[in-house]
């Protein structure tokens, strides 16, 4: 068992830990930790967990770190979070909320939840729920008037359990 778990305060994070709801953190099992994505998380299996959701096409750590910095260069726009297994120092859950600034609704903002995934071995333990609660908290505390996401029909019951309701339709055009 590893004891090398890094204190979030010592990590190079995408955004400050204070954005993570302490209420959500307290509801996680004691062997898990929720925190912002860190610039060293490539090594902790970030892409392995994302591959549960879709095709990843791993371009290597340098490219991953460049993307991390490009996203962080847009302050208060990208909020990627992870759930970490403390014993193994491996990521077991991931998610992002993107804060879109608008001209309408009094220059309002909308939170877009994206790329939610929980490692297969950890599914069904309410980690997905905690990720959605944490991202919704970030969206709402950033002043967003709504938080939205796209999902497959099979995931509708999961998002309903998270307090979301079905609205309108998704359109897509792939390049
Ligand atoms: N159908 C019905 N109910 C479900 C489903 C489902 N597919 N998935 C979860 N639930 C229910 C659970 O039973 C639980 O209900 P309960 O409170 O009555 O016990 C509740 O939803 C919360 O479930 P969690 O345990 O938090 O779900 P989990 O940790 O397994 O995470 C997730 C759900 C993220 C969908 C996970 O299964 C996963 O990673 N799937 C593969 C990737 C994926 O589809 N991601 C979502 C893409 S959509 C997007 O990114 C915006």
Which tens digits make up the pLDDT trace of 21-45?
999 999 999 999 999 999 999 999 9
Pocket test for ligand 1, best of 158, 163, 164, 166 (most atoms within 8 A of CB): 158
Which tens digits make up the pLDDT trace of 123-158?
999 999 999 999 999 999 999 999 999 999 999 999
pLDDT at 174: 95
Main-chain dihedrals φ then ψ at residue 152, nearest 5 degrees: -75, 165
CA 48 to chain centre: 14
Do strands 78-85 and 32-36 pair parallel, antiparallel, or not at all (unpaired)?
Answer: antiparallel
Question: 69-75 long-range CB contacts below 8 Å, 24 or more apart?
Answer: 69/39, 71/14, 72/14, 72/15
pLDDT at 48: 98
For ligand 1, atom 51, the nearest C-alpha belongs to: 114
Q: Report how far ligand 1's centroid is from the alpha carbon of 93 (Å).
A: 11
Q: Is the pTM of this model over 0.95?
A: yes
Q: Is the pLDDT of residue 111 over 80?
A: yes
Q: Is 115 in the pocket of ligand 1 (CB under 6 A)?
A: yes
Cα–Cα dist 48/41, whole Å = 11
pLDDT at 140: 98
Q: Report how far ligand 1's centroid is from the alpha carbon of 173 (Å).
A: 26
Q: Is 154 in the pocket of ligand 1 (CB under 6 A)?
A: yes
Residue 81, C-beta contacts closer than 8 angstroms, at least 6 positions apart: 20, 34, 35, 36, 37, 94, 95, 96, 131, 134, 135, 138
Q: How confident is the model at residue 6 (pLDDT cuts 50, 70, 90)?
A: confident
Q: Is the pLDDT of residue 77 over 90?
A: yes
Asked if ipTM goes beyond 0.95, one says: yes
pLDDT at 2: 47
pLDDT at 135: 98
Q: Which atom of ligand 1 is nearest to the CA of 119?
A: 39
Cα–Cα dist 146/162, whole Å = 14
Do strands 32-36 and 146-148 pair parallel, antiparallel, or not at all (unpaired)?
Answer: unpaired
């Amino acid at each position: 068992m590893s004891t090398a778990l890094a204190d979030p305060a010592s990590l190079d994070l995408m955004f400050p830990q204070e954005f993570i709801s302490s209420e959500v953190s307290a509801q996680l099992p004691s062997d898990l930790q929720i925190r912002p994505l860190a610039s060293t998380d490539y090594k902790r299996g970030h892409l392995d967990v994302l591959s549960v959701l879709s095709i990843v096409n791993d371009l290597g750590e340098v490219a991953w770190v460049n993307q991390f910095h490009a996203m962080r260069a847009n302050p208060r726009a990208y909020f990627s979070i992870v759930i970490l297994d403390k014993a193994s120092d491996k990521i077991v859950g991931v998610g992002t909320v993107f804060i879109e600034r608008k001209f309408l609704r009094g220059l309002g903002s909308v939170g877009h939840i994206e790329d939610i995934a929980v490692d297969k071995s950890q599914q069904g333990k309410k980690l997905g729920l905690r990720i959605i609660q944490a991202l919704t908290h970030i969206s709402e505390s950033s002043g967003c008037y709504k938080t939205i996401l796209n999902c497959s029909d099979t995931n509708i019951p999961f998002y309903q359990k998270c307090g979301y309701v079905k609205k309108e339709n998704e359109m897509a055009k792939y390049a």
